[in-house]
Amino acid sequence: MTASAAPVEPLLSIRDLEAHFQTQVGLVKAVDGVDIDIFPGECAGVVGESGSGKSVTFLSVLGLVRPPGWIAGGSIRFDGRELTALTRRELRRVRGKEIAMTFQDALTSLNPALTVGSQILEVLREHTPADGARPAEAQALEMLSLVGIPEPAIRMRQYPHEFSGGMRQRIMIAIALACRPKLLIADEPTSALDVTIQAQVLDLLMALRHRLGMTVVLITHDLGLVAEYCTRVIVMYAGQVVEQGPTRSVIDDPAHPYTRGLIGSIPRLSRLGEKIRPIEGQVPELVRLADECRFRARCPVAEARCGARIPMSDLGGGREARCVRPGGRR
């Protein structure tokens, strides 16, 4: 946080999170010492290449890391409670009710054998007491029209395959938001959609965020989307957070060479006339990582000091980076 602003309690606070997978090649530390704060009302973007641990980090928040994976350590505080200490039953009451999550592909995320209506009704019934003021049907109808499904009463009786990709994504959002959660984790909500539909869905999401007073975490590969929709950005690389800060200032003056590489590889963000350069090399195997900067092998400015464990440095202005010379500064 900036020094001038009054300190705001984060809604979600992840500390030293470790999530591991036991695989045939060995222990994969998919999330390795992640610290992330999400503040009430903000829309935070989480970016990073495929396999950087974005999904696993936020699945951990809901306790949904499945075998062969598990949460190996760390703390997740949400709205004054420690989520890692909750019983299964208590955690279930958080899922869908206080924290909701949507996934990349709505076609595979909606149950093909159940009608859309029953899939939205069941989450309402699960979390609202039986004597709820309004019947679940009315709430479901309202939610579906809120996300822009025409003729919701008819559409409720249809199956997911009877909808277009964009409509399915809207339905998934309607289900996620049905119980008015405080926090929505949108894991690549638009990667499966074409560009025009992408913008429609994200604009809808932002409109709903304001209307329902929700906090949103937008997980994406696309730094361009973050620049457009998020006030703050968190950059992940190989299971760690490597940089975070206000979106504008991170994009204008990236501190970590990986962030610089990401920006350079996106045409919309690189400066006019500059050549687009994809980042050379690949994300390292997350097995038996040495105690060194994980980006070292691909870093154009790596030096001897990068061979040690790199802590996060506070750069002021709410910015942090995990680099020995952030922004090329000494």
Ligand X SMILES: Nc1ncnc2c1ncn2[C@@H]1O[C@H](COP(=O)(O)OP(=O)(O)OP(=O)(O)O)[C@@H](O)[C@H]1O
Residues that bind Mg ion (CB under 5 A): 55
DSSP 226-244: HHHH-SEEEEEETTEEEEE
Which of 10, 48, 160, 264 is the binder for ligand X (CB under 6 A)? 48
Segment interacting with another protein, rule: CB under 8 A, options 90-98, 217-225, 273-281, 286-294: 90-98
Q: For residue 222, which phi and psi values (nearest 5 degrees)?
A: -100, 100
Which of 96, 166, 239, 284 is the binder for another protein (CB under 8 A)? 96
The closest alpha carbon to 139, from 181, 180, 96, 185, belongs to 180
Contacts made by residues 282-286, CB under 8 angstroms, sequence distance 24+: 283/49, 283/50, 283/51, 283/52, 283/237, 283/238, 284/238, 285/25, 286/28, 286/29, 286/30, 286/32, 286/51, 286/238, 286/239
Query: Closest separation between CB of residue 298 and another protein, Å?
Result: 31
Which of 3, 6, 113, 195 is the binder for another protein (CB under 8 A)? 113
Q: Which residues in 15-74 contact another protein (CB under 8 A)?
A: 62, 64, 66
The closest alpha carbon to 202, from 221, 216, 181, 183, belongs to 216
39 binds, among ligand X, another protein, Mg ion, none (CB under 5 to 8 A by kind): none
103 binds, among another protein, Mg ion, ligand X, none (CB under 5 to 8 A by kind): another protein
**Site mask, ligand X, residues 68-97, x = CB under 6 A?**
xx----------------------------
Query: Closest separation between CB of residue 58 and another protein, Å?
Result: 10
221 binds, among another protein, ligand X, Mg ion, none (CB under 5 to 8 A by kind): ligand X
Query: Closest separation between CB of residue 162 and another protein, Å?
Result: 9
Query: Closest separation between CB of residue 96 and another protein, Å?
Result: 4
Is residue 217 at the binding interface for another protein, with CB under 8 A as the rule? Answer: no
Q: How many residues belong to the site for another protein (CB under 8 A)?
A: 30
Element (H, E) at 123: helix 116-127
State how beta strands 232-237 and 43-47 pair.
parallel
User: In degrees to the nearest 10, what's the CA dihedral of 122, 127, 133, 139?
Assistant: -40
User: In degrees to the nearest 10, what's the CA dihedral of 39, 201, 47, 55?
Assistant: 80
Is residue 127 at the binding interface for another protein, with CB under 8 A as the rule? Answer: yes
- The CA distance from 18 to 34, in Å, is 7
Q: Do residues 29 and 88 make contact, with C-beta atoms less than 8 angstroms apart? A: no
Please say which residue, 57 or 139, places its beta carbon nearer to ligand X.
57
Is residue 17 at the binding interface for ligand X, with CB under 6 A as the rule? Answer: no
Q: For residue 17, which phi and psi values (nearest 5 degrees)?
A: -70, 135
Please say which residue, 37 or 187, places its beta carbon nearer to Mg ion.
187
- Block residue for tokens 């996060």: 312
The site for ligand X (CB under 6 A) is made up of: 21, 23, 28, 30, 48, 50-56, 68-69, 221, 286
The site for another protein (CB under 8 A) is made up of: 62, 64, 66, 92-97, 100-103, 105, 108-114, 122-123, 126-127, 159, 161, 172, 175-176
